[in-house]
Amino acid sequence: MTAENRPGLDGLEVGQVVAEREVEVTRDTLVRYAGASGDFNPIHYNDVVAASAGLPGVIAHGMLTMGLAASVVEEWAGPGNVQDLQTRFSRPIPVPNPGAAVVTFTATVGAIDAEARTARIDIAAELDGQKVLTKAQALVSCA
């Protein structure tokens, strides 16, 4: 990995928004993710099973949500520059049928370590103004 494909520390400031994206999650999205991941838990496709588990309906996979958050940071940081990603799941994402759950992701510089040449990127993920991830943070290697 060369410095050319990393974001530079120069010009980065704590509190700076570096990436934003809205993502529509549909039932089709869940089918595709289940096939790719092998996670065929029926709470992700069967309304009756989801309701019997006390959920508000079919919900998105947690790892899908985390992957979407990571992709927002990775698109800004460049391939291979996200060193670490951590989060806690704070609420499920119900996916209507028909329709879509629209999740908003905002990546903000949370801290800069000039000596280590890294930036901590805090990721907000919200559905209808409510957080779906808590303490979502990525560590990014910078030039």
DSSP character string of 79-90:
TT-EEEEEEEE-
Q: In this structure, are residues 90 and 66 in contact, taking their beta carbons and an 8 Å threshold?
A: no
Q: Which helix (H) or strand (E) holds 27?
A: helix 27-37
CB 93 within 8 A of CB 57: no
CA 40 remoteness from chain centre = 20
Average pLDDT over residues 18-45: 98
Q: Which domains does the chain have, with CATH numbers?
A: 3-24+59-141 (3.10.129.10)
Q: Average of pLDDT values for 52-69?
A: 97
Q: How far apart are CA 120 and CA 141, in angstroms?
A: 9
Mean per-residue pLDDT of the chain: 95
Chain segment 93-141, per-residue pLDDT in tens:
999 999 999 999 999 999 999 999 999 999 999 999 999 999 999 999 9
Amino acid at 69: A
User: What is the structure's pLDDT at 5?
Assistant: 74
What is the crossing angle of helices 62-77 and 27-37, to 10°? Answer: 90
